[in-house]
Amino acid sequence: MKRSILGVIVVLCVLMTTACAQTDANYTLSGEISGLKEGTKVELVPAATHNEEEPVASAIATNGKFEFSGKLEEPRLFYLKVADHYGSLSIMLENSKISLKAKAVFEESNNGIFVDFSDVQVSGSKANDFYMEKLAFKSKFGALHEKYYKDHDAILAAVRNAKSKAIADSLRNTDDYKAFAQAEKDFFTSVEKTSNEAILANKDSWWGPLVMLESMSYFTDEQIPLYEQFSEAAKNSYYGQLVKKELYPERVVNKQAPEFTLADREGKTFNSSELIEGKKYILIDFWASWCGPCRREIPNLKHMYELYASKGLQIISISRDEDRAAWLKALDKEKMAWPNLLNEKGVDDLYFVKTIPAIFLVDASTGKVMDDKLRGEALDQKLEELFQ
């Protein structure tokens, strides 16, 4: 999400003239990273927010050296990044003198230049030491994931190279593939159990919400019972409030659907009020080419559009793709018959979209959002009820 959760929360006082910390101590981060070109801009970006954050401070590297300084109200996790490049390293800052040493290797890819940081050494931040200890369990997951895939490499390759769907389906019914499926299930069960134990081991402080944010890419209602086990201090902490905002997000249900103006693939702009004129009900569908569940929902949307378009149904699909070429390729393949627009102005933020697919059912007569949790069969049943 491009809009920062930290929009009204100051976490760094870099370049500010007024004090914003409740402590007299400052932090100084002295960095030295080999492999950086002279004049490289390095940035500090808030981490563990489940959002795409803007840098809160930047510095220019000279002979691979740079420095950040300021004040923090309490320890915070940041990404250290090279400006306009992919890749980062995580570091917990606190009000102390902190030293960072690392190596950087730049690798080109189709999407840009990736920076691989290695040999990272941090001293002077006890919070960073605690962070490394509390998140150490995650380092085991990669090896376990690689192992069960390697153990079943032959059957996976056979399914991947199958010349027809029938052959692939037949292979998926073999004992070898079933063993892989069980191994995968066991892996994710183990990951969930280990992560939950680490989270609850820290449930009485802000470390619990932070470990939760770092352990999971996104939250669903299934994580609510986990959050509710946090102490009040943990819930009221900075990271606790981030978790709460994601688990109990603002919603537009029973409110006026926010208006928007976006462009289609040809660059023609459409206003939402124009698209719903003369319609009875509207589905505003947020999706992306890279989102598997979104793509699997499209056939159902096509089916409903065929049934109810003539009766007053309008569908508006808004893609969150950042890669325009990928979006256009998906449009060519999916051939959706309704308006398809690109989310370039933060429209998803207006609808408080956290995960996709996100489908909003709007009553055109009132302009209000009726529901935002209908998909698949439930959505089908609701439309059948509305158009009967």
Residue 1: predicted pLDDT: 38
What local confidence, expressed as pLDDT, does residue 24 receive?
Answer: 56
DSSP 311: G
Do residues 211 and 199 make contact, with C-beta atoms less than 8 angstroms apart?
yes
pLDDT tens, position by position, 50-102? 888 999 999 999 999 999 999 999 999 999 999 999 999 999 999 999 999 99
pLDDT on residue 357: 92
| Cα dihedral across residues 176, 178, 180, 182: positive or negative | negative
DSSP conformational letter for 267: S
Question: Which runs of consecutive H residues, i.e. helices, occur in the chain?
Answer: 126-134, 139-151, 153-160, 165-172, 175-200, 207-215, 224-227, 232-236, 238-247, 272-276, 292-308, 324-334, 347-350, 376-387
List the chain residues with pLDDT less than 50: 1-23
The pTM is what?
A: 0.70
Q: Hey, how many other C-beta atoms are within 10 angstroms of the C-beta on 118?
A: 10
What residue has token string 């060519």? Answer: 332
What span, in angstroms and rounded, lies between the C-alpha atoms of 354 and 219?
Answer: 9
Return the pLDDT at 3: 36
